[in-house]
Structure 1
Amino acid sequence: MLEVVDEKTGYPTDMLELSMEIEADMGIDSIKRVEILSTMRQRVPGLPEADPAKLASMRTLAEIAEALGAPAGGAPAAAAAAAPVAAAAPAPAAAPAAGANGVDLVAEMLEVVAEKTGYPADMLELGMEIEADLGIDSIKRVEILSTMRQRVPGLPEADPAKLASMRTLAEIVEALHVNPEMGAAEPSLVTAPASISDISSLARFVVRPRVVPAPGFASALFEARTIVVLPEGGDPSAPLAAGLVERLRGAGLPARVATDLDGVRDADAVIDLRALVPETSADAWAKANFDAFSLARALAPRFGEFGGTLVFVQDTGGDLGISGSAPGREGYAGIAGLAKTAALEWPTAEVRTIDLSYLSAARTADDAAAALFTELERGGLEREVGLAADGTRVTLEGALETVPGPTVPVTEGGVFVVSGGARGVTASALIELARTAPGRCKFLILGRTALAEEDPSLASASTDAELKRALMLAARSRGEAVSPRELGSQARRILANREVRANFAALRGYGSEVEYAAVDVRSVEQVRDAVASVRTRWGRVDGLIHGAGVLADASLQDKTDEGFLRVFETKVAGLRALLDATASDDLRWLCLFSSVAARGGNPGQSDYAMANEILNKAAAAEAARRGPSCAVSSIGWGPWAGGMVTPTLAAMFEARGVGLIPLDEGCQAFVAELGAGGPSEVVIGAGLELAPGEAQGYAGLARVHRGSAPQLDDHRVRGEVVLPIAMVLEWFVQLAQVELPSAPSWVFEDFRVLRGVVVSDYDAAPTTLRVVSQSAGEGLGVELTTVDGDGGRRHGARLRAGEGRLSAVEAASLPASPWAVSEVYAPGRLFHGPAFQAITSLEGLSEQGASALLQGYATSGVQWSPRRRPLDPVALDGMLQLGLLCGLARFGEPSLPLAIERCEILRAELDATEGPYRCELRVREASNQHTRCDAALIAADGRVVIRIEGLQMFALPRAQSAAAE
């Protein structure tokens, strides 16, 4: 009994007691009681039928159990079977790993640090600061902890954000003793292969715009107690902020303007308009991105723990900068990368970016404020959305495509300026280009490593550890004290020099000419001078490759100004310096090394995601400006099997299902992309799936009242406005549009009404429901629910992608209907008013099924809310109405639908005709209290656009039937 109640109501079993009152304590109405009893009879054959009238009079679950034959005061079988388990003593909690097996964590930690850093163990102390004394970055910390877990089974995974906040080795050791709850942060990418060894090729996604209708969900800020708007340019009298606040207040929301971060400390919702400024200078870009970053950092402790709503508004042309149609504004695109990362770091918060075409379209502030308010009130679920001045609404998606043939092939003697090409992945890519290019290329390579002559005495030291020991011994022989950090810095410089020289030798070995300049790529003057020098010798510059980049991973709340600026400026200021230095050159190739973090965000890499998102949109702007004569691309790379990814980290990525790009395949992909000539933004990775819904899913706010849903005046049961199943399924289709946008059809399995929704104050305060999607687990689809303001689940279903082949129901010969259409909507039959009166012709009706013609909402003659709908809710409701009529023929009294085993909706239904439709419904199973039906909705062109299987109708108790009449 308790298990069935849990399943049908959503109440957890461990909070249920047989003595609870069915209605007063649990809110279970008489219809739900019938459904519970019906399910009990299916699971326990031989249980007696229950008189609906007697059932309605029972107050507790215990009374129902007794009526089913359990001993008075006894527990139903399911509860009795569970009792021994519940009574069993809990198992003792596992002790920390060190205590359980006697491992000396201190000794192990020092040994692993020595092994992974090369520092001699006898100079290490637990009190040393990880970064200040040892120079250990976040990647190395993850590697050290991964090795510790291999050596000491049972140690917890390490959350990189928490790990980054620890200052000393002692803190890490302490955490391993006392905090076995340190869970690992989930990667932001959904990845396919189970093992890296299974990856045989790379996935290439082209980022394109997709027009999406506004699905009608409100932002969570409509539930906020305090809403703060940061005005454009920080000006308290700015007109757009004023117009937006006026509209929010007009909707009864507590909105106000604030001009600094002190004003947002207590806000539940923040709308940041500060990036909406006309300036397009590098300084304006930097300020806008830093301001957005500072805001997110200030909100991080509270929003990360308690949730909240943060909406960033930018203007990169109203299409998220993908077309390059707003030149000079691409530098504001970094804000979208920040928002996507913040959304991953704060899973209970709503974080969005709205690209509002405002300044780029010379739009009035009032018009822009109206568009922005409409998006917040009736917009959508997308993490990022663009609003064009003509009303077009777009988001971005990755389409899996192969690389086309080169439109601008690399020719003999091509002259390239390359940042970050001396070492790492970029250097390997250049070597592949030199190997495959027809004839000698010329490379000016810009790097931060200053080449220096190496002490010949160190030649025999080939590894990092050998170098550190040799350097330490040399220092001690001179009587000098050297810290581990200094030792590490010296060793890194020597190894970097060796790598640079080896890479240059490889390039020259393929016949290329190489010049090297040690410069700060962020410096316009240094880059300009270096480029001018080789232009004098080589005569021109043909290509530009920007591969420079640095990392400073940490969660938003732990980010520093210095770290942000170093990461951000290396990419963004570096690109500006490179474009400035080559402004007079007729470039034929422009390739930017971006990151997949920009496309989907990545915990700990907010600054990196921001910088690379600007690169992506700068590529779009350059492609639009330069035309087809220049092949422009920004490649969002996934993680590579090389560079900073050690074998230990590779194993960690593999365990998480994150594929690594094989070095040779990645370099070949770079060469192919270099001359492809577009599109400007692609994402390349090993086994990547760019899932638009991310693992955490989506949540929208449905606000139901007369203004948003005037049609519900015609959906009243016993005088009360009741939320129809058709509207809930419409919401679920809206979720399906963003979760599975390319599926040929959407399948909703196990749709259930856990608790019906009565719109109690239809004419005044809205009834609000949160409509939520989240992954149900690998291979299990997407779980969809509606949740009320008290956190109670009201509806549920599971979403999967269908194949788009919907079949009709079995043909049958049905007798004529006992009622004319004019009699169907009479009292005591169907309660639906004009807006829901779908049936236009009844061609057959009996206890076995129905055949009818239905109209859609567009031809019903009643004004529905003025927006494009993702399916035809009137026709869908008409299918359910036929089930009610079959039940009426059987029961002699009304019934209500409470569950659908499977409902498949053709994606093409979004563009289907507005009716008429034909519906065929067949009763598959029936008792004296419920029926199970299958139905198909057929469009005028013969397509089956909706297929329902297992529609379960439950009879209303007689007392309520009389009231309904």
Structure 2
Amino acid sequence: MLVDLGPAPGPDTAALLLDACQAVLAARAEGQAPRLVALQPEGIAGGFLRSFFIETPGCDILLLNLPATDPDPETLLAEIRAAGPGFQEVTLAPDGTRTKPVWQRAAPDSADRPVPGPGDAVLVSGGGKGIGAECGLALARETGCALLLLGRSAPDEDAELQRNLDRIAATGTRLSYRRADVTDAAAVARALRQGEADLAVPVTGVIHGAGHNHPRTVANLEPALIAQTLAPKVTGLRNILAALDPGRLKLLAGFGSIIARIGLHGEADYALANEWLSREIEAFGAAHPRCRALSVEWSVWSGTGMGQKLGRLDALMAQGIQPISVDEGIAAFLRLATGDGPAGATVVSGRFGAPATVDLGQPEPPALRYVETIPVWYPGTEIVTECRIAPGTDPYLEDHVLNGQRLFPAVMALEAMTGALRTLAGDLPGAPRFGKVQFRQGLVVPGDGAMTVRVAAQRRGDGRFDLAIRCSATGFQVNHVEALCDIAEHATPETDLLPADPATTLPGLDPARALYGNVLFQKGLFARVAGYGLLEARRCAASLSPAHDARWFAADLPQARLLGDAGARDAALHAIQACIPHETVIPMSVESIETAPLDPAQAHRIAAVEREDLGNRLVYDMAIFDAQGRAVEVWRGLTLRVMGPPEDLRLDAPPLVAPFVERRIAAELHDAGLTVALAPSTGRAGPGPDRRPDGKPDRDDSGAYLSNAHGAGWRLSVRARWPVGVDLQEQPDHDRNGWTRLVGEEGMRLADALTDLTGIDAGRAATHVWAAREAMKKAGMPAGAPLSVDPASTAQWLRLRSGDWVVYASAFAPDGAARPLCLAVVVGVAEDAVGAPARLAGE
């Protein structure tokens, strides 16, 4: 069935459309299934036909947009024969080019046009309430313009209208409300003259929000009913423009509907009215280029607007149509009206499902592991991807198990978000730059071994992207990971951190034995820390080994990783763990990440420094370097959450002992400024403290105290703002008589108390007492100073008191040592740097 809508839209257009559609319905009632073919030169019938298509399942419709010149009949026949099932729209250009309408994200308008200001008034049709009035008020408050509101209701007969007018006036906005039906040209002209007289400024802007919507299916429509729907939108706009001087208009904004683009059951006439409105505004804009001519084709609003009035909001939401909040709608309108957005017809919408009546321009998605399915995809604007992960498909999960739970690694979360971003934005010009990264809750793969990961990416108005990850384990109700991201051309990131010399490796620390399976829970693909060139309590520099020759994903899955070597990135993060060897830490948040696709064949290096110690949170800056020492990736403000001590922790490697001791003491003595170093002894005395005759060290030039001790080839050094003394003793092979001769009867009673309290053997306990006494001497304490055991002592960490002094003791057994080494650090806490009494944390 063919209908020709004529050379231009006119009074007969609606009747022709209605007759054709109702004829199709009649034929279908008789068992026929005709295809409806509509010919039009200008786009006004699309929304009507799309609505009819939605109302009439199984009906095939072809809409042909023709050039002004008569098309070749053979071309028309070819299009009709080639048409497939469903709804199709094709545009034929004068040169024979054939196109189909595809939705695209709107680009900002670069034209410089004036905006109404304090010397202008903006006419708002549609009354003193609703989205037109709200947008008018926002524009007035933004620009200082006055408002002339046109409506059919009388404020003294409409309490809601009066309240809204009072609210607008209370903002200080200059306001005039005039009664007029926009379909009455004389009434519009009269109201305009009166309003300009009230406000004493000319009307140079229009927000045309008037409309009429009474939902009916095409089967129940009549020409007169369609005319009622068209009148306020089309005739009303013409009447307003006829009453104004079009040459001085700065803004013309018509409020249309997304229904004109996608169709909706029972809304064919309303779709026609809104599509016609858009064409009229576009024509005006072409004739008056100095005027910002907008047709804002809104989705449904929540709290106000036509959808709310008709009570259809819940039904629309059930169809996947997401309403626009009042604040969101106003913000979008202001961007469009003030020049920070496109001109012409623009759809402003929340999600609206996946209608079969439009082509959203979705390209072929890239082959990426975490982009298995795409439930939501508005190209350039929003995407939601899903992927089901399990140990069988994602073997790296078995290498990332903490306390018996398979954790989806933070670095794979970044990879998943990058995959969603790549699918949404297309080929990335550079590596993503993440900001405000929040790892809010761990993604734990449940015991049955499978979990669906859902990644959402949404483009902001400023071009950046909001990202989030949810999962099936929490019913997709929790944002486990959140981030803000932008994309920039790749450049070498700037950092003050420096990598360690790869030829320099700290002795006494074999990562395979001392770290993995002990301090670190990672293994396999993630076990990449090869050694440290620097390791202290607050900073470190390490070397990473190249990637293992193993698959990250099952063989039948895409293997591409946009961010490159996830194992190196994870190792760079967990290398920091050695600075806090006695507490497991996991990423909590990151201020910013300048990422790069890490080359898995390279031996990367990392450097990290602590910015802040917040107790149960530690803040670091970290950089990853390539094999040549060039910074390739920088993490700033990496906050690590302290989770508690690893199970069955062994602290035998000397490079781990120093940060352990320093942090344990610093946790109590915040202001002592204490640092601890434990390094191989060179046999030379090296720089040491000057001592008073009583043995107590003097301060050095910086005002700090320094104490050293040597034992079994190792040198322990402690520097602090408060007086300190240290000792390091290899546990000798004595019987009780030998120990009694060394530490005395009182010392043995103290050793027995340590054994009873902590379970350490008698020899270890006596060595601790001996080392404590020696450290006390080096601190200048009296020879007979009493010692008492703190009941909170453990086998790994002993704490003793002597008046205002505290003694800390621990033991370790480095590789090659015949016996354990016992260290003691005594700190005087009676005075702080200015002589005031100091106290232990918690006291």
TM range (shorter): 0.3 to 0.5
| Greater strand share, structure number | 2
If asked which structure has higher relative contact order (CA below 8 Å, sep 6+), I would say: 1
Which protein has the larger Cα radius of gyration, Structure 1 or Structure 2? 2
TM, length-normalised to structure 2: 0.41
